[in-house]
Amino acid sequence: DTGVSQNPRHKITKRGQNVTFRCDPISEHNRLYWYRQTLGQGPEFLTYFQNEAQLEKSRLLSDRFSAERPKGSFSTLEIQRTEQGDSAMYLCASSFQPGLAASAGELFFGEGSRLTVL
């Protein structure tokens, strides 16, 4: 399967603990996005990478959240000192964005990592 892979699929943690999610995008995709989705809501943008560069971060992304894509391949999303409000599905998506011209390539989503903070 060459789709977007996310791990772990489910994570239950106690408030105050740190958690890390990993996303492996489709190999030839240069763009990687992180979204958060809560029940009854659509995905909310958190951040995105072009290759290894983090180009934009949402104001939703507090300083407890950090994302990396060290070699322009897989990405990690770490949440420090988790709070109950962090409970959500964390979605990763990737796409291929050719050149500098504005265009919107199709987003390919993973199945998500569900976080439950007790």
Residue in the structure block whose two tokens are 């007790």: 118
The radius of gyration of the chain's CA atoms, rounded to the nearest angstrom, is 14
Exactly one of 17, 18, 62, 103 binds another protein (CB under 8 A); which one? 103
How many other CB atoms are found less than 10 A from the CB of residue 11?
Answer: 18
Residue 39 sits in the site that holds another protein (CB under 8 A): no
Q: How far is the CB of 108 from another protein (least distance, A)?
A: 8
What b/e string do you get for 44-69 counting C-beta neighbours within 10 Å, with b at 16 or more? eebbbbeeeebeeeeeebeeebbbeb
Q: How far is the CB of 63 from another protein (least distance, A)?
A: 21
Contact 34, 89 (CB under 8 A): no
- Of 46-85, binders to another protein (CB under 8 A) are 48, 55-56
- Of 29 and 82, the one with the shorter C-beta distance to another protein is 29
- Site residues, another protein (CB under 8 A): 3-4, 33, 35, 40-45, 48, 55-56, 91, 93, 97, 102-107, 109-112
